[in-house]
Amino acid sequence: MKLLQTLTLKSTYEEVERIEQLLNTLQEDLGFNDEFYARLMLSVSEAATNGILHGNKLDESKTVEVSAYK
């Protein structure tokens, strides 16, 4: 597998919005359709939110890393 991009988020809800930028770039580079984009956005946002809330307890000194591989 090849690492395409990595995004490091601070443990705040506002940081989850940055996932959209990552997915927009990946959609342009990889050409996946809008339905796949929507499903991916939902699942990655939910996973990041769970990590921020339940894993890191909103501790801003901790981060969540989102990586995309091909």
* pLDDT for the residue numbered 12: 98
Helices marked H in the chain — which ranges? 18-30, 34-50
Counting the structural domains of the chain, the total is 1
pLDDT, tens digit, 9 for 90 and up, residues 29-42: 999 999 999 999 99
Contact indicator for 7, 62 with CB cutoff of 8 Å:
no
Q: What is the pTM of this model?
A: 0.91
Alpha-carbon gap, residue 3 to 35, rounded angstroms: 23
Alpha-carbon gap, residue 18 to 7, rounded angstroms: 8
Tell me the sheet residues that pair with 9. 64
User: Domain containing 12: what range?
Assistant: 3-69
